[in-house]
């Protein structure tokens, strides 16, 4: 039986062989690798204009206080989940449509808050909203809001062996969703295809974010341009999260 150190080293080798790992996962892996091999980050914060260095520094500094063993274990779990994340099919859709979008195209057109929401950069989202709460309504070229992006990207890695890893590997996207909602983001905003943030979260099967959106008033019965609703495309595991809101919406409509 492999030791944790051996599992970690094997996972590192497997990750090095993989192509097409999304930026978010690369940063998570980088931060965990540095924490597992070196420990807490003692480097000073890079200059703000050095975007890549800043992203790597944040990925590492966010793991501060995590033991090397926990970091190795988290790295192994994340590496094992790479092959299944963002690639499964559901109801004819790609589980994550945004992750397949050309990154260069997004960088050319998206505002700072859209980029921050996409990458899970909670600190930048908070800073932008602190200076201008209306930024939560910003749209990209496909009329997607920051809430669309964070609802799409906000996965949490689950592991049956330890609940601790769940909190270790949560990205900033759940908290970004909460901040955007608090700032007044349009909960039922529709992109060019008629998809709402809830539709993205349902398609990607992010239960924590789905629950957050439902509690904030997201409507699971809003149709997109194909006539699909978040409720109609939901998997059996997700439907229970939507049912109470569906019944509430139906009751409201019948009383009008």
pTM of structure: 0.59
| Structural domain total, the chain | 1
Tell me what the mean pLDDT of segment 107-136 comes to: 78
Whether pLDDT at 43 is above 50: yes
Please answer whether residues 118 and 98 qualify as being in contact, where contact means their C-beta atoms are separated by less than 8 angstroms. Answer: yes
Q: Would you place residue 112 in the very low, low, confident or very high pLDDT band (cuts 50, 70, 90)?
A: confident
Chain centroid to CA 148: 10
In a 3-state reduction of DSSP, which class is residue 90? Answer: strand
- pLDDT above 70 as % of the chain: 76
Find residue 93's DSSP bridge partners: 90
CA–CA separation, 200 and 221 (whole Å): 14
Please answer whether residues 136 and 105 qualify as being in contact, where contact means their C-beta atoms are separated by less than 8 angstroms. Answer: no
Whether pLDDT at 121 is above 50: yes
In a domain, 69, yes or no: yes
What is the per-residue pLDDT for 36? 93
Of the listed ranges 98-112, 147-161, 207-221, the one predicted with least confidence: 98-112
Both tokens assigned to 66: 């995590």
Whether pLDDT at 105 is above 50: no
- Looking at per-residue pLDDT, the higher value among 28 and 109 belongs to 28
- Looking at per-residue pLDDT, the higher value among 232 and 248 belongs to 232
In the chain the beta strands, taken as DSSP E runs, fall at 89-90, 93-94
In a domain, 209, yes or no: no
In a domain, 153, yes or no: no
Tell me what the mean pLDDT of segment 35-56 comes to: 81
Of the listed ranges 7-21, 71-85, 149-163, the one predicted with least confidence: 149-163
In a domain, 5, yes or no: yes
In a domain, 12, yes or no: yes
- Looking at per-residue pLDDT, the higher value among 180 and 156 belongs to 180
In a domain, 45, yes or no: yes
Of the listed ranges 56-60, 158-162, 187-191, the one predicted with least confidence: 158-162
Whether pLDDT at 74 is above 70: yes
- Looking at per-residue pLDDT, the higher value among 99 and 67 belongs to 67
What is the per-residue pLDDT for 10? 92
Both tokens assigned to 193: 């295809």
Domain containing 7 — which CATH number?
1.20.80.10
Chain centroid to CA 26: 13
How many other C-beta atoms can be found within 10 angstroms of the C-beta atom of residue 241? 18
For residue 63, give its domain range. 1-83
Q: Would you place residue 251 in the very low, low, confident or very high pLDDT band (cuts 50, 70, 90)?
A: low
What is the residue-averaged pLDDT of the chain? 78
Tell me what the mean pLDDT of segment 96-125 comes to: 60
How do residues 124-178 score in pLDDT, each as one tens digit? 888 889 888 899 999 988 899 999 999 987 654 444 444 445 454 455 688 899 9
In a domain, 184, yes or no: no
Q: Would you place residue 248 in the very low, low, confident or very high pLDDT band (cuts 50, 70, 90)?
A: low
Tell me what the mean pLDDT of segment 26-38 comes to: 91
In a domain, 139, yes or no: no
């Amino acid at each position: 039986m492999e030791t944790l150190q051996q599992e970690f080293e094997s996972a590192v080798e497997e990750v090095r062989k993989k192509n097409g790992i999304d930026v978010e996962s690369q940063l998570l892996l980088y931060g965990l690798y540095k924490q597992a091999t070196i420990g807490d980050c003692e480097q000073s914060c890079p200059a703000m204009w050095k975007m890549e260095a800043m992203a790597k520094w944040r990925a590492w500094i966010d793991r501060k206080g995590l033991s090397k063993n926990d970091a190795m274990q988290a790295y192994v779990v994340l590496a094992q989940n790479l092959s299944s994340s963002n690639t499964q099919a559901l109801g004819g859709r790609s589980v994550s449509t945004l992750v397949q979008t050309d990154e260069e195209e997004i960088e050319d057109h998206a505002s700072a808050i859209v980029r921050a929401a996409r990458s899970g950069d909670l600190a930048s989202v908070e800073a932008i909203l602190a200076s201008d709460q209306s930024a939560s309504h910003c749209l990209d070229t496909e009329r997607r809001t920051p809430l669309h992006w964070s609802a799409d990207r906000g996965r949490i890695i689950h592991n049956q062996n330890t609940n601790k890893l769940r909190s270790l590997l949560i990205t900033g996207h759940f908290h970004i969703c909460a901040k955007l909602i608090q700032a007044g983001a349009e909960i039922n905003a529709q992109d060019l295809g008629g998809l709402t943030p809830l539709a993205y979260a349902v398609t990607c099967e992010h239960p924590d974010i789905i629950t957050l959106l439902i509690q904030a008033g997201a409507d699971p019965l809003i149709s997109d341009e194909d006539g699909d609703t978040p409720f109609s495309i939901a998997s059996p595991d997700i439907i229970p999260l939507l049912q109470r809101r569906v019944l509430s919406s139906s009751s409201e409509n019948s009383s009008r």
